Structure 1
Amino acid sequence: MLAQRTALFKSPDSSWTAAEAASATSGQVIDLTAEEIWSELAPTVREGAIIAIHRDLNCPTGPVDLLQLREALARKISAETDQSWSADEIAVTSGPKQGLFNVAMALLNPGDEVLIPVPYWSTFPVQIGIAGGTPIFVETRHNNYVPKLTELAAAVTSKTKAIVVNTPNNPTGVIYDRVTMADIAQLAIDQDLWIIFDECYGAFAHAPYVHYSIISVAPHVRERTLIVNSLSKPLALTGIRVGYLAGPKTVISATKALQSHTSSSRDIIAQHALLHHLNSGDTAFQERLQLHVRNARALGLSILSTLRLVPTPAAQGGFYFYLDLSELRRRAKARGRELNIDDVVNVLLMDAGVATMSGTAFGDPAGVRLSYGIDLQLLEKGLRRLTATLNTWN
């Protein structure tokens, strides 16, 4: 008999599995589900990996990570938050998922509650549950996917331990403004809460929208904030799996102790590759990647603006379009029918040949997420298929 916690492990990526199956038979499916940008490897990262290999670097970097990489990350975070950070306030992890897991395990006791705005990245509630905590969902769909302070405050109980702040948001692409973040920071102080600040998509904020670290907005909240980030998104390195945490030394030390007994030290070649990139000061590749994403966003928004009953998505940050099909569902219900979003995703796959992510994976029965981090020609083809299909529905 398996442990009860394994019931939490179900993968939400049903559309990806379906896309693989359909692609194997027809080769015609355009995949808009990936949480990555299709790109070649950054030259500075490639150079760093090759240098490390030629140096025969094959020994562990210590119990968890490479000191020089933590020092370089501390400099990076110092510049982003306008505050000084040291290496012992940083931990390198096997991607941001491990960082989030380490935080949950270090902070939560059984029964502790964590506020999560809806829609949410599917990993948040699963990891909280594994740690023995209880996710408390706070709706945002009625407020353009931005949490209202009054509703967050109303959800706080004597058991509330933390709040998850994910901006730019996955799946919605919404960026929280300074007022929202200042309000959340004050709520955390007033209610003695931790803030788990996931800013993995922070490098992709699309003008006129601007991404701010919550610590730069409210410096006084630093002592109760854990920053979770990664170089995977801004450098299109999702396969290399290097993330990092920043926060109070006591919490960082606890996460390192946990990691020393789980995954232990991060891949030494990957760490040296990213250290080489950070020390190079070369931003050309990242700027080209950001330009590609901006062009993809502009192309996608122009096509999606032709949808008749679906609002054009905000797409303020990251590289996702998030479609709100509430009006289609309302019209279907008025005619005595239920429009199930999982069924919509399956129809888009089978009839339009486009793989998308159902909002049910994100706690939303009315949303569909589309990634625009792919080749522009494929993106255009896929979105035109999708809009043509949705526009036949009334």
Structure 2
Amino acid sequence: MKTLAPTFSDREARIESSKTSGARIKADKLRSRGVDVINFASGELDYMPPSSLLSSVERINYRDSHRYVDTAGLQELRSFVSANIASFDEITYSAEEVIITTGAKHGLFLSVMTLINDGDEVLLPQPSWGTFKAQIMLAGGKPMVVESEGERFNPTAVEFEKCIGQNTKLIVLNSPCNPTGEIYSEHQLRDIAKLAKERGLWILFDESYRNLIRPGCAFIHPAAAFPGIRDQVVTVGSFSKSLAITGWRVGYAYGGQEVIRRLKKLQSHTASNANSLAQYAISDITQNEVVRFNTKVNAELDERCHKIQNSLKGQDLISYSEPCGAFYFFLDFRKIVGKRMYGIEVDSTDRLAEILIEHAHVALTPGSAFGKEGFMRLSYAIDRESIQIGMTNLVEALNHVE
């Protein structure tokens, strides 16, 4: 009798492995072999978390923190998020309209699974973080690319409207944006929100980098720009970026009570609840402590941003738009693609990333990871000395372009 081999689901085959983590992993492997690689592919701050947060871990009553907590999260932490929204955005979401998730990534996954059905179309600006596309496809949706004709990559309401079809269900917005560092302005969000209201569309709003803003720029929430969209927006955020605790895996989502009820139902069958120990620790710090920490971090990020800009002055082969938030530059390498570097043909930014890590010992994330060939993401969430060395290496590599 012939034996049959078991088969796999087709869900995993719909998506690619993460290219954002791929560059970082390759840099780490070279470092382990003694090669001094400057990792501009990093997606996390090099800071230690606030000392008060680490101290709170030591004060936690472990008899409680090692057990299940409410699926939606600790009441104290949900109230903390609710108060933060009211304080900074001047919009109101109660603690019952907040859910604590296993990182922002899980919050986004729960949201997509809740908001779209098989065949639904999702408007996705490009460039964008690759996880958006992957999660949409895992949920059976169809990501529909929306590109901006402007230099700053944020599509306008008019550009979104051109892409709306009969099966359009959802608009994804990320502000500040990974990979570009761009922020949607108040008038942009107002016009997009009005469009979503008129067409009966959801907005999935990723605000994970909201606390990391450059001088002269300002963050705004869609519901603050256009209050009428409040219950059609599902917002997802993260403590990972604002508190430098990426490994703790604690995020949040908020929206109308009905959508949060559904997210809670899904979470009950996927993660049960977010890391309870981390939730207790975060609940123990104050908003003022968070503000002080973010003020210090932003001042340092400003200095690092300036170092990148100073290093690129007078470089004709690379151009960029000045970032407004997060800790990324999205550099335009299109003048190099099609040429040769170190005698090697640069036929794509994927190939360019390989050349730079092997010959210049700098790791950048290729634009293909974000759906934008010809560009590369550079993270300045690393120390100033490494930035100086890395930028010197990168600029030197430009002398080998022919």
Once residues 167 and 391 of structure 1 are traced to their aligned partners in structure 2, the CA distance between those partners, rounded to angstroms, is: 35
Higher mean alpha-carbon deviation, 73-82 vs 367-376, is at: 73-82
- 2:395: which partner in 1? 387
Kindly indicate whether residue 77 of structure 2 is the aligned counterpart of residue 69 of structure 1.
Answer: yes
Compute the displacement of 1:278 (Å): 3.3
- For residues 50-61 of structure 1, the aligned pairs below 5 Å read 50-53=58-61, 57-61=65-69
1:173 to 181, 191, 194: 181
Asked if 1:6 corresponds to 2:19, the answer is no
1:71 partner amino acid: S
Partner of 1:132: 140
Distance 1:232 1:63 in 2: 20
| Alignment-derived partner of residue 97 in structure 1 | 105
Partner of 1:273: 281
Match of 1:230 in 2: 238
Query: With structure 2 as the length reference, what TM-score do the two structures score?
Result: 0.93
- 2:33 corresponds to: 25
Give the SS at the match of 1:17: helix
Matches of 2:82 and 2:290 in 1, distance apart? 18
Equivalence for 1:255: 263
How do residues 322-337 of structure 1 correspond to structure 2 at under 5 angstroms?
322-329=330-337
5+ residue gaps, structure 1, are: none
Stretch deviating more after TM superposition (322-331 or 1-10):
322-331
State whether residues 44 and 282 of structure 1, in contact with CA within 8 Å, keep that contact through their aligned partners in structure 2: no
Distance in 2 separating the partners of 1:312 and 1:118? 16
The letter of the residue matching 1:149 is A
Secondary structure of the residue aligned to 1:301 is helix
Shift of 1:72: 1.3
Superposed structure 1 runs of 4+ greater than 4 Å apart: 53-56, 279-282
Offset of residue 185 of structure 1: 0.7
TM-score (norm 1): 0.94
- Once the two structures are overlaid, the 10-residue window that deviates more, 299-308 or 231-240, is 299-308
1:235 positional shift: 1.3
Partner Cα distance (1:193, 1:382) in 2: 44
2:367 to 359, 362, 384: 359
Q: Distance in 2 between matches of 1:37 and 1:296?
A: 12
For 2:168, give the aligned amino acid. T
Q: Secondary structure at the match of 1:110?
A: coil
CA contact (8 A) 1:348 1:355 kept: yes
Q: CA deviation at 1:383?
A: 1.3
Q: Alignment partner for residue 88 of structure 1, among 96, 102, 111?
A: 96
Please tell me the residue identity of whatever aligns with 1:31. N
Alpha-carbon shift at residue 160 of structure 1 (Å): 0.4
Q: Could you tell me how far apart the structure 2 residues matched to 1:28 and 1:340 are? A: 25
Structure 1 residue 130, shift from structure 2 partner? 0.7
Equivalent pairs, count: 390
Question: What secondary structure does 1:234 align onto?
Answer: helix
**Deviation readout 1:7-57 (Å, 9 max, x if unpaired):** 115222332232122222233111111111101121121122111146653
- Residues 282-330 of structure 1: CA deviation (Å, up to 9, x unaligned): 5322221111111111111111224222114422111011101123337
Aligned equivalent of 2:121: 113
* Secondary structure, counterpart of 1:326 in structure 2: coil
Q: Distance in 2 between matches of 1:308 and 1:101?
A: 41
**Partners of 1:384 and 1:33 in 2: how far apart?**
16
Q: CA deviation at 1:61?
A: 1.4
Going from structure 1 to structure 2, the CA distance change for 1:196 and 1:384 (only over 3 Å counts) comes to same
Secondary structure at the aligned position of 1:245 is classed as: strand
1:184 and 2:192 aligned: yes
Residue 178 of structure 1 deviates from its aligned partner by 1.5
- Letter of the 1:252 counterpart: I
Structure 1 counterpart of 2:68, which letter? P
Q: Structure 2: any 5+ residue segments left out of the alignment?
A: 1-6
Q: CA–CA distance in 1 between the matches of 2:147 and 2:92?
A: 35
Question: Which stretch of the first structure deviates more once superposed, 197-206 or 59-68?
Answer: 59-68
Q: State the AA in 1 paired with 2:281.
A: A
- Deviation sequence 1:105-151 (CA, Å, 0-9, x none): 11111001100000000000100111111100111365421213222
Distance 1:142 1:63, change over 3 A: closer
Distance 1:325 1:19, change over 3 A: same
- SS of 1:360's equivalent? helix
Query: Does the 8 Å CA contact 1:44/1:280 hold for their aligned counterparts?
Result: no
